[in-house]
Copies of this chain bind each other. A is one copy, B any other.
Amino acid sequence: MSDALLTPEALEAALRQIGAERYHNLHPFHRLLHEGRLNRGQVQAWALNRYYYQSRIPLKDAALMSRVEDPALRREWRRRIEDHDGTNEGDGGINRWLALTDGLGLRRADVEAGRGILPATRFAVDAYVRFVRDRSLLEAVASSLTELFSPNIISERVSGMLRHYDFISEDTLRYFGHRLSQAPRDSDFALDYVKREARTRQEQEQVLEALRFKCDVLWAQLDALYLAYVEPGMVPPGGFRPDNTA
Contact A215 to B237, CB < 8 A, known contacts A120-B224, A122-B127, A126-B130: yes
A68 interface residue per 8 A CB criterion: no
**Chain A: interface secondary structure?**
helix
Task: Contact check, A236 vs B224: say whether CB atoms are below 8 A apart.
Answer: no
Contacting B at CB under 8 A, from A50-92, are none
Distance between A223 CB and nearest chain B CB, rounded to angstroms: 6
A237 to B217, CA, bound (A): 12
A21 to B226, CA, bound (A): 23
Q: Chain A residues in contact with chain B, CB under 8 A?
A: 21-22, 28, 118-120, 122-124, 126-127, 130, 212, 215-217, 219-220, 223-224, 226-228, 231-232, 234, 236-238
From the candidates B122, B215, B223, name the one contacting A227 in the complex (CB within 8 A). B223
By a CB distance below 8 angstroms, the chain B residues around A217 are 119, 123
- Which of A119, A216, A217, A219 is packed against the most chain B CB atoms within 10 Å? A119
26 contacts between A and B (CB under 8 A): A21-B237, A22-B238, A119-B216, A119-B219, A119-B220, A120-B123, A120-B124, A120-B223, A122-B127, A123-B220, A126-B127, A126-B130, A127-B127, A212-B238, A215-B237, A216-B236, A216-B237, A216-B238, A219-B236, A220-B236, A223-B224, A223-B227, A223-B228, A223-B234, A224-B224, A226-B234
Task: Contact check, A234 vs B28: say whether CB atoms are below 8 A apart.
Answer: yes
